[in-house]
Structures are given as structure tokens and as C-alpha cells.
Amino acid sequence: MNTTQSIVFLRGAKTVLRPIEISDVPLLTKWINDPDVRMYLQTNKPMSEIAERKWVESLADGKGGIALLITTYTGVPIGVMGLHDINHIDGTATTGAMIGEKRYWGKGYGSDAKRALLAYAFETLNLRKICSRVYAFNTRSIAYSRKCGYVDDGVQHKHVFRNGEYHDVVQLAIFKDEWLKMRQRARTSRRSR
């Protein structure tokens, strides 16, 4: 096992979230340039390893938020998840995620990693509201966000151009008090089994 596989920042039930390292740059570059992955992201330009390396290096100052590599428990890197636009005065942030390894799509890894990140955002950073912006055609992302407790918080109609047409952007949000209630219900349900 290499050293990056032994680093754990957050742990979910089936995922580990760890800091992104320079050694992850080739994999990140592969994922972000994959058309099937990129169609769900805000970027639509080719990304070089040089550009990805600069982004990874910029994470060190913490000003751009927090980005973590998602791995399976066996150490397989599968994606990236982060908190962006963290505002400690308002108690808000925005989440973003990318599962780059497509064979892990639709298997609950994103939901698991998101729950771990939300626990950190609410219970460690003491944020009160976490937002997410999702392209309306990304039904898988909307479903997993709702599974994690997000609710609709607005729609930006015909806001982005993808695949030759304009699409809505769905804004979702989860508040700390709702997260805590949901987490308590899950704990109570586990104990009663």
C-alpha cells in the first residue's frame, strides 16, 4: 500500500476521503477530459496535466475551499468531492463532486462520500447550509443529493449550454438542523435492529 492510500481525512461506510496529492494529477486529468464525465461539470475546455497540477497546488492555501480524493476502502481512487465558497460568517458552502471512474457510477459511493463530507461540514466546520448546483439532465446527481437530504432550493432556467441545447440548473440545499435530524433517525434505526 502506498502512503496516499493510508491517509484518511474522512471515512464513510464504503469510502475514504483523503487530501489530493500531486501524484493524483494524471488520474484527475484523465477524468476531467472524459466526455462522459465532463458533460456534468462546469468546465468544457481541455485540461492539461499542467493546469490540473496548478489546481492541486492551489488547494494547499485553503482559499479555494476543500477538495478531497474519494477512494474505496481497498484504496481504488474513484473521484473527487469538495466544499467550495465556504463562508464562515453566513455559515454556507457549496458542494461539488465528480466520480471519474464510471464503473462506480450508481453504486452508492457518491452518496456515501457526500454523507461523510456533510458530517464534516456541519459537525466540524459548524456550517448551517450546504448548497449544490446540478444540471437538470444529471438525474443521478439530483437523486443522490436528495438521498443525502438535500431539497430543491430553486431553478435557473435554460442556464447552461450542453449537448447542443440550453438546460436548467437545479439548486439544492440542506440545512444543518435537517441533517442532524436525519442523522439521528439513521442512528436510532440502526440501534433498533
pLDDT given at position 2: 46
Domain spans of the chain, in order of start: 3-191
The residue with cell 430553486 is 154
Q: What is the pTM of this model?
A: 0.90
pLDDT at 97: 94
Residue stretches of the chain with pLDDT short of 50? 1-3
CATH code for the domain defined by 3-191 = 3.40.630.30
